[in-house]
Structure 1
Amino acid sequence: MERQFAHLHTHSHYSLLEAIPKIPELVAAAAADGQHALALTDNGNLYAAIDFYKRCKEKGIKPIIGVDFFVAPRGRRDKEFRTDDLSSRLVLLAKNETGYRNLLQLVSKSHLEGFFYRPRIDHELIELHRDGLIAILPSHGGEHAYSLRHGDSNRAAHALSWFKEIFRNDCYVEVTSHAEIAGHQKLMDEIVLSARAQGIPIVAAQDTYYLARQDALACDLVNKIRTGGVLNRAGEEYALKDFSFRPQKMMIESFKDLPEALENTVRIAEACALPLQLGAWVFPEFPVPNGMTHDSLLHDLAYAGFKERGLPETPENIERVLYELSIIGSKGYSPYFLVVADLLRHAREKAILTNTRGSAAGSLVSYLCGITTVNPIEYQLPFERFLNPERPSPPDIDMDLADNRRDELIDYVRGKYGDERVAQIGTFGTMMARAAVRDVARALGYPYSVGDRIAKLIPFGKQGFPVSIDSSLESVPDLQDAYAKDADVKDVIDLARKIEGNARHVGVHAAGVVIAPSPVSDYVPIQFDPKGGKKITQYDMHAVEDVGLLKFDFLGLTNLSILADAIERVRTRADISVDLDRLPLDDGKTFGLLSRGETLGVFQLAGSGITSFLIELRPTSIHDINAMVALYRPGPMASIPAYIERKHNPKLVKYLDPRMEQILKKSYGVIVYQDDVLQLAIKLAGYSWLEADKLRRAMGKKIPVEMAAQRERFLRGCESGGMSKDAGEKLWQQIETFAAYGFGKAHAVSYGNLAYKTAYMKANFPVDYMASLLTADAGEVEKIAEIVGECARMGIKVLPPSVNESFGNFTVINDSAIRFGLYSIKNFGTGVADSIIAARGGGAFSDIADFLSRIPDKNLNKKSIEALIKSGALDEIAERGALLGNLDHLLSFHREHVGAPTGQSSLFGARVESKARLSLAVAPAASLDERLAWEKELLGLYVSGHPLDKHKEKLAKQKAAIKELVGKFPRGIETVIAGFLENVRSLLTKNGERMLFARLSDYSGGVEIVVFPRVFSEGAELFQNGACLMLKGKFNDRNGEASFIVEKVKAL
């Protein structure tokens, strides 16, 4: 088709909640219409620029990168509402690389400097960053158009004159065709006349916000989702207006009377030539001493590591280091290694625990430079998995950091390289199936229950495998039925499908940080995180890497914070320094703990499934732990029984080919790691590392054509290498079922070593480790209850909080007791807790009068004193019932005597009692049931006892605890559970019958129970909060959550 028109003003769903086209769909629509060029001009951002650029290139379409900017009426720094505010927009397109770089600056500054409800630029920025840009003054939001619409032709003329002076021959006035909008053609006629009067060319456009005209309703809907409004389908104009992606023929017909407007779209498209150089890496400027290079500094650092690590400089080790350094140097990656090594050196100096995982553990240079903590020679980790000499892959070093100190390391990077050169990577929250349904239902004005009911019919997805609405309609009969029979459900579902997967908001990547050699905005657009105010990239991690910035992963890991806290407790309490990098790897206590299945709180090894395997395995080496970390996942899990059997009976170990023993000896002939597959392919089938990597990728994607080609190549290679055809076939079958889910060995070793460290601390310093575990999970009631139960099994008491012994967090009292922290008490502020701890520095509180007189904090009010009493924090100085019965008296005493303590130290340290006394009126003591109920209310769990304690003998006869049954008992099979009832809710069915929902809990946890009318009527008097019951019924899974359908009930 002759080039007669190009779309220069289009929006994607990255114009967040204002437009709906996805990038692939938008580009596909342009390709299907035979368009030669296409511009993307999202509102105030460049989120999708790189993805758009690449997809256009794939389809043979010239990509034009632009932005639909918001222009501040009185300058970007003016952030006050005025009655004369003028709404103004400006479309800028990048002609070349200079224009693209200026777009990066404009977008970044609009967010960092001009944001006021919207990111805004102003005339100053436009003038400063005009080079390489084409300006299009939009017909709907341009300053001139707004002025003409409001009858101010002088202001319109002034605006046109200014833009013409700034952009000269690269300034255009947009005209659009909307016969469906009243008064639009009159405005366009005025725009054309005013543009011609100024000598500014006009350009035809269709301000596109959706692909097909029938999507207008969906587009209006996302705008209502954005604003929180409700769509009034009877009164909205969506049925009239048309901002769809019109085909060329329609645009040519619409502008047949303005041929120059069409011609100018082609002229602009031809003028835009942006050859982005993607995939060329840039590294931070790491300072090196005079006379040295990055390569020589890394060389010296690695060689110094031999002494620091205690590793001998054998010919083999030297050869490995020189080999790695040559590849690192040839790829230009030395600066990256130096940056990471310096960062982790700083972490060690500041006692911030780290754990480097992933394929980087296969590098001896990384080990010697202090980047990783495992010796790749000892674990036979191949360097080529990390950096393949035949593949242009970037280095990727994943750093796990103690999550409570992660920001310290990011601040260190900012300080060293400059704040303007560092940013965290942005990411996008999308409207997945369930969320889309709820959003749509609300915006359509349906009651909450409608959206909630439909959403709950859609199954939960798994990480990396989201569930779509369409797949749910295929697989969920209840949803199929509702969609077919309920008009409301069909209404919501049909619209939700149109916006499912669209970007909803921008956020911060969990780990990714970029460090650039110059300001980050020279490479990518940046903005503030809407929630936390951190500087983030507008490009996601893939686009960031496309433009050459390497992603540094700073992933906060709670387990490292737990370890650090436990180590500090051991140091201060027992004066023992624990060096995690020098732990003995043959500790009998550690392996005994794992063999007994005491894995709660152990990194990667907790959970009933893997724990049962550990009990069978009885691990005796770090290699066993590494193997379990790797094998406990879909696919490889089927090999666990064979691994266990062969460990305990080596006679069962057999190899299809003798050469396999060198690779699989430590795993008893079982393929455990992804690396095993690659090494087997190289050794037995003659693969190169590049071919082996292609094999890994093919198995990961499971594409039949690729797999067939790989199978043929593998079998041919095995036969050429001397392996029988039958043996080759058997080996391929083993590899094929394993490799798609296989774990990298370096990753498993890194995680396995961290798992060992957590197990070592739990086994050797149990009370300190458990206190740290409790502190880390404070606020997670179910987790705390589980840990408290584990403490009880370990012989460690977890005591209620105490004003005389508790600190803010959980505190170790002695080798067999831990105190709740004051921060854990609900309705009790940390400020009051800190005041209590500070006052206690003058000595323990002797009685309630002493306590009240020494706490000056004004927030020690009725609510906080009641919380202290009910939680048991004052048990040492007075009984709970007596204190609650005198609560008003306590408050009066505190107001009168605060600052006048009942006891103070004399000059010689002796305690001198004052005359202030507090007499309590007689009040009934609190019962055990009351104390337990208060602890549950204020601490989230029972501490000084448990409602089921009186039924322990009966509960001991139960086959398994509720938590264990929820995890693995077959669904639909009748079983019995026992516990006490909480959160009882009853309701009437459509037939007017009463049914009940509640939670039944035991020592291990609880499960939601459902009691239908028949069962409820038979035992209604039993279903009371606090009742201890035995229930017969069946477990059921609905919407990803377990519940128990009750068939019979009796009291314990």
Structure 2
Amino acid sequence: MYLNCHSYYSLRFGTFSETDLLDLAEANAMEVVALTDINNTSACLNFVRHAKKRNIKPVIGIDFRTGAQQHFVGLAKNNQGFKALNAFLSQHSEQKLQLPDVAPPLANVFIIYPFENVLQLNKKTFADHEFIGVSITDLRKLRFSTLKQQQHKIVLLQPVTVRDKKDFNAHRLLRAIDNNTLLSKLEKTEECNPLDTMWSLDELNIAVAEFPFILKNTKALLDQCEIEFGFDDQRDSQNQKLYTDSFENDCILLEQLCRDGLPKRYANPSPKVHARLKTELDTIKSMQFVSFFLINHDIVSYAKSQGYFHVGRGSGANSIVAYIIGITDVDPIELDLYFERFINPFRASPPDFDIDFSWKDRDDVTAYIFRRFKHTALLATYNTFKYRAVVRELGKVFGLPKEDIDKLSKNSYTASSLDDISKLVLKYGKLIEGFPNHLSVHSAGILILEHPVHCYSATDLPPKGFPTVQFDMNIAEDVGVFKFDILGQRGLAKIKEALEIIAENRPELPPIDITNVAAFKKDPKINNLLKSGGAIGAYYVESPAMRGLMQQLQTQDYLGLVAASSIIRPGVSGSGMKDEFIKRHRMPEKRKEAHPILYNIMPETYGVMVYQEDVLKVANQFADLTLGEADVLRRGMSGKYRSLKEFEAVEEKFIANCRKKGYADDLIFEVWNQIKSFAGYAFAKGHSASYAVESYQSLYLKCYFPLEFMTAVLNNGGGFYSAEHYFHEARQQGATICLPCVNTSDHPNRLIDTSIYLGLGYLKNLEAYTIKRLLTERQLHGPFKSLDDFIDRIVISIEQLTILIRSNAFRFTNIPKVELLWKAIFKLNAKGKDTIQSKLFKTEHKQFTLPKLDNNWIENAYDEMELIGFPLCNYFDLVSEAMQDDVLASQMHLFVNKTILIYGNLVTTRFNKTSQGKLMRLSTFVDKNGDYFDAVHFTNVVHQFPINGLGIYACYGKISDRFGFYSMSVVWSKKLAILQDPRNS
């Protein structure tokens, strides 16, 4: 009997989830209920799915409103009606159109106008699909209205927005947040009615006793509505089913692509290659995934035609078909990749293809996909209210002072010190926490569908400019909509730009084949960068933890890098198996400690579970689970199980089967806990291998073209470290770092011979328009001859010119910058005025005689810190305290288990948790020679000796040796003072 129910996807209005709505319907014995969220269809598919499980008939529609003002409610008679509603809402949402007061005719849609709106519109006639909706509070007015003569058109439009007083209070708070107003100033028109609740059938009958036709009409309307989507076992893939005009031609095309690509990947294919290829093709055809492969191939082919680099990863990287036709660059034969991880007869969804492009190229690839395929949209994700944020919002709504809000949001209070308002903030903060706040765009997901997008959802048009559905990936998969993952990353941009810099600066060299990864893998110089920790700047392998791990493992080949990139993940580390793997890798005698069955299953990793495939292998071969059950286990460990009961049943079978095979409980639960602790974080082996391919490409460039590579790294947003540190690394590789120059610098950094000129874009507060004018003028009319020449040619304010002068960008004039500053002030009159157009004729500049004005290197260092964020001099030169005799990082191996002092320039620091959940800090420094060392502040000293920002620290601690990787356990540390700016003394 309810035609107008809201979930909390009526954003900042509704107060409970779509499944809570079904709980409410069950409690009130409702056999049918309609979900009509406000200008939103996010919950519709999940509502339909769960309603049918509870034997409640679902009806879906949309409550069309402007703010809180309701225009009308649209109910879908069927799937075509849902499509029409979605298209209508999307048109208004995407084009920012006002919703009309009267709905246009929409096929297979019922329109219900609220009673008050009908009165205001003075609407007298109603089409077959139009109705008048009265709420319980409207009934007293109906008695005296001429509309009661329209008996056959009147239905019950009782909104369901809240369940009780607590919900109503939460609703008012959400409305105040939405309106950015104090709760006390919230207009009543912005709220729902406190009676907008679900009444029982008996209560409804009593309420409408005077108008018995109302419930009859309402039931008749609901009886005509029927919505169908296939879910769970009944779902059918909704992705584009055909790439060509028929399934047969799709199969022929995929086979042809494999025939054409096979010689390029395997010069002399072995019987194993042919057998694997046939098995995969047969499985792909039988499971109707042919178009999925062809669409991914199409996307990658377009990218290649534009000269874009890509990396294909995900479980699809385990596929020889994907390798042969160029979606991935990982050879599954070389790596013995587990076919069943990629695809198996029990898997309902297609394999995952995560295709990475440069962050500069991704938008064009996305635009191509929208041009190329007919029914396309981006996938949504929900931004929810986080606890700290919602407490801040509620604090403002209640009018609390900022100090009180800060205390509440940071949990820095005692319960006894809280007043009643603060207690309300915390109470409702907990209630609202986790509610959807607004829709956003999924970081990678694109939908390519068989039917129009509006069959499933309304769409929005976010700033990216591509239509975006209103549901997330979990709902998408439930209904058979499987996303294509198109990601942007900076690592590929670094590789591409490094190659461009090499081609421009060193034209005498032949073109570099960056795809020749097979040669890179065998290059001892490149592999030495891995085992020596020299991978700074290289994608995915440059972090302190990764470099330390590779030094412990002495990683010096591709397979070793693949393993390292997986065991660094939290799960393997957390289970203790990372340390066990290192021991067994470095000390062959330790391999005897592995259980023989596990060692036999995973000989390459010495009986240690490292990859997601290992979960499948162990479950299948150790516990005799079927591959389907094993995949349920793997997905469940990743938090992706569809049914908790199904997962628990597999867990029970795992244990029961192991006991039946005679394994001791100690062994069973040791293996089970290993699976449980890491499977949710581990990579598929093919995924790790894909990253390793890109890492080798970066390492090749770092090894043979370090300055070009480091320039490209800096120009593409760096990576794990700060820009300052990448400049340090470039300096270690032989570069001279130069401040910006108006005649030499570009917007990004520029490499000339062995000098890297900082880009003008590094100068804080230098406006983009200033840089654009400067570069355009220089390109059109040549370098600037003097400060006067610059002022004549560039429209610029004194503030902007001051930034350039203080950064020494006019050093080609050989005039001290202090003198240039005074001249600039005199010439521009220091009024902060700048003309809007350049001068038609050059005016003669007055010349001023100034006393000798000098500045020293300390002043320059402070200018650099202010203008670019760091000084170009050595931080050690700025230290004002006397330093004691210390040890260098290269000497740490001589002091194992001894306490020593090292002075270090902080590179990076982060907090971490011990296995007991206590706080610790991990920091990386460089010593006086520029060499790295790592230091750990354990729980006993982490608060006593804090790290307070960048600078030089005296680090005193005990040196430990972990398989040749040396680090310090800090006993005490202290930040050293630096020289003061003489201008402030």
TM-score band by shorter chain is: 0.7 to 0.9
* Cα contact 1:977–1:1030 (8 A) shared by 2: no
Q: Would you say the 8 A contact 2:177–2:397 is kept in 1?
A: yes
Q: How many angstroms does 1:453 deviate by?
A: 2.2
Measured in 1, the distance between the counterparts of 2:790 and 2:95 equals 52
The equivalent of 1:938 in structure 2 is 867
Q: Residue 516 of structure 2 is aligned with which of 582, 593, 605?
A: 582
Alignment equivalent of 2:764, drawn from 817, 826, 831: 826
Q: 2:220 aligns with which of 245, 251, 267?
A: 267
TM-fit CA distance, 1:490: 0.6
Contact 1:661 1:669 survives alignment (8 Å)? yes
* Structure 2 match to 1:126: 104
Q: CA deviation at 1:944?
A: 4.2
For residue 69 of structure 1, give the secondary structure of its aligned residue in structure 2: strand
- Asked if 1:496 is matched to 2:474, the reply is no
18, 29, 37: which one aligns with 1:34: 29
1:386 Cα offset (Å)? 1.7
Among 572, 581, 591, the residue aligned to 1:636: 572
CA distance in structure 1 between the partners assigned to 2:154 and 2:838 by the alignment: 82
- TM-score of the superposition, structure 1-length normalised? 0.79
Aligned match for 1:318, one of 274, 292, 301: 274
Residue 114 of structure 2 corresponds to: 138
C-alpha distance after superposition, 1:736-761 (max 9, x if no partner): 55445433212221222223333332
Q: Is the 8 A contact 1:175 1:204 kept in 2?
A: yes
Matched residue pairs, number? 917
The residue aligned with 1:683 is 621
Q: Aligned ranges for residues 956-975 of structure 1 at < 5 Å?
A: 957-958=901-902, 961-962=905-906, 967=911
Report the equivalent of 1:697.
635
Distance 2:381 2:80 in 1: 26
* AA aligned opposite 1:521: H
**Shift in CA distance, 742/99, structure 1 to aligned 2, threshold 3 Å:** same
CA deviation vs aligned residue, 1:543-586 (integer Å, no higher than 9, x gap): 33444433111111122222221222122222453333212212
**Matches of 1:495 and 1:31 in 2, distance apart?**
26
* Cα-to-partner distance string for 1:465-516 (whole Å, 9 max, x where unaligned): xxxxxxxxxxxxx55x337743332121112223221121122111111223
1:350 and 1:921, CA in 2 relative to 1: closer, same or farther beyond 3 A? Answer: same
Taking a change above 3 Å as real, the CA distance of residues 1006 and 323 of structure 1, as seen in their structure-2 partners, is closer
Identity percentage over the alignment?
26
TM-score (norm 2): 0.84
Change (3 A) 1:935 1:510: same
Task: Give the aligned partner of residue 363 of structure 1.
Answer: 319
Q: What does residue 97 of structure 2 align with?
A: 115
Q: Tell me which amino acid in the other structure corresponds to 1:126.
A: P
Instruction: Report the 3-state secondary structure (helix = DSSP H, G, I; strand = E; otherwise coil) of the residue aligned with 1:137.
Output: strand
Q: Residue type matched to 1:751 in 2?
A: Y
Residues 109-154 of structure 1: per-residue CA shift (max 9 Å, x gap):
23234634xxx2575x622x2x3222222235x3x13x1xxxxxxx
Following superposition of structure 1 onto structure 2, how do residues 394-473 of structure 1 map, counting pairs within 5 Å? Answer: 394-418=350-374, 421-457=375-411
Counterpart code for 2:340: E
> Which stretch of structure 1 is more off in the superposition, 239-248 or 224-233?
239-248
Runs (5+) with no aligned partner, structure 1 = 1-5, 73-85, 148-154, 179-183, 458-477, 903-914, 980-1001, 1008-1014, 1016-1023, 1034-1043
**Is residue 292–residue 350 contact of structure 2 (8 Å, CA) maintained in 1?**
no
Confirm whether residue 89 of structure 1 aligns to residue 89 of structure 2: no
* 1:243 is aligned to 2:196: yes
Task: Judge conservation of contact 2:346–2:627 (CA < 8 Å) in 1.
Answer: yes
Letter in 1 for 2:527: F
**296, 301, 310: which is aligned to 1:340?**
296
1:203 corresponds in structure 2 to: 155
Matched, 1:556 2:551: no
Change (3 A) 1:286 1:565: farther
Task: Give the aligned residue type for 1:527.
Answer: D
The answer to whether the 8 Å contact 1:786/1:1004 transfers is: no
Matched-pair contact (CA < 8 Å) for 2:257–2:325: yes
Structure 1 stretch 94-103 or stretch 287-296: which is displaced more? Answer: 287-296
Does the 8 Å CA contact 2:318/2:686 hold for their aligned counterparts? yes
Equivalent pair of 2:312/2:356 in contact (CA under 8 Å): yes
Cα RMSD over matched residues? 4.1
Counterpart CA distance in 1 for 2:697 and 2:44 is 45
- What residue in structure 2 maps to residue 75 of structure 1? none
**Could you say which residue in structure 2 is the equivalent of 1:926?**
855
Per the TM alignment, residue 322 of structure 1 is displaced from its structure 2 partner at its CA by 1.6
Secondary structure, counterpart of 1:135 in structure 2:
strand
Alignment partner, residue 699 of structure 2: 759
- The DSSP-based 3-state class of the residue aligned with 1:954 is coil
2:828 aligned with 1:891: yes
Distance in 1 of aligned mates of 2:972 and 2:39: 56
Q: How far 1:716 moved relative to its partner?
A: 6.0
Distance 1:452 1:629 in 2: 40
Q: Which AA in structure 2 matches 1:23?
A: E
> 1:745 aligns to what?
685
Give the counterpart letter for 1:544 in structure 2.
Answer: A
What is the CA-CA distance between 1:359 and the residue it aligns to?
0.5
Distance 1:572 1:772, change over 3 A: same
Going from structure 1 to structure 2, the CA distance change for 1:319 and 1:951 (only over 3 Å counts) comes to: same
Structure 1 CA distance for aligned equivalents of residues 516 and 534 of structure 2: 23
Match for residue 45 of structure 1 among 25, 28, 40 = 40
Structure 2: give runs of 5+ residues left out of the alignment.
887-900, 937-943, 958-969, 979-985
**1:44 and 1:68 in contact (8 A); partners too:** yes
Counterpart in 2 of 1:879?
816
Tell me the residue number matched to 1:67.
62
CA distance in 1, matches of 2:953, 2:902: 13
The residue number in structure 2 matching 1:847 is 786
Q: Residue 332 of structure 2: SS of its match in structure 1?
A: coil
Give the match's secondary structure for 2:487. strand
Aligned with residue 803 of structure 2, among 860, 864, 867: 867
- Which secondary structure does the structure 2 equivalent of 1:268 belong to? helix
What does 1:610-689 correspond to in 2, within 5 Å? 610-637=546-573, 638-654=576-592, 660-661=598-599, 663-689=601-627
CA distance in 1, matches of 2:921, 2:325: 59
Distance 1:700 1:975, change over 3 A: closer
Change (3 A) 1:974 1:126: closer
**Counterpart among 547, 565, 570 of residue 497 in structure 2:** 565
How big is each residue's C-alpha offset from its partner over 1:147-166, in whole Å with a ceiling of 9 and x where there is no partner? 1xxxxxxx52xx240xx22x
Distance change in 2, residues 1:976/1:226 (3 Å): closer
Matches within 5 A, 1:261-300: 261-278=214-231, 279-284=235-240, 288=244, 293-300=249-256
Q: Which amino acid aligns with 2:195?
A: D
- Match of 1:232, SS state, is helix
Q: Which residue of 1 aligns with 2:740?
A: 801
Deviation (angstroms), 1:977: 13
Given the superposition, is the C-alpha separation of residues 726 and 438 from structure 1 closer, same or farther in structure 2, using an over 3 Å criterion? closer
Question: Measured at CA, do residues 794 and 10 of structure 1 come closer, stay the same or move farther in structure 2, by a change above 3 Å?
Answer: same
8 Å CA contact 1:26, 1:211 repeated in 2:
no
Q: 1 CA distance for matches of 2:92 and 2:377? A: 17
Q: 1:486 aligns with which of 396, 399, 419?
A: 419
In 1, the alpha carbon distance for the partners of 2:707 and 2:864 equals 22
Q: Distance in 2 between matches of 1:560 and 1:922?
A: 53
Aligned-partner Cα distance in 2 for 1:1048–1:823: 34
Does 2:237 match 1:304? no
Paired with 1:426 and 1:58, the residues of 2 have a C-alpha distance of 25
| Shift in Å, 1:797 | 3.1
In the alignment, the residues of structure 2 paired with residue 746 and residue 671 of structure 1 have an alpha-carbon distance, to the nearest angstrom, of: 15
Verify the 8 A CA contact 2:505 2:752 in the aligned structure 1. no
* Aligned-partner residue type, residue 253 of structure 1: I
Whether the aligned pair in 1 keeps the contact of 2:598 and 2:608 (CA below 8 Å) is: no
8 Å contact 1:586–1:620 — kept in the other structure? Answer: no
2 CA distance for matches of 1:977 and 1:636?
23
The AA in structure 2 aligned to 1:25 is D
| Residue 207 of structure 2, aligned match among 232, 254, 263 | 254
More off after superposition, 604-613 vs 234-243: 234-243
Contact 2:721 2:907 (C-alpha < 8 Å) held by counterparts: no
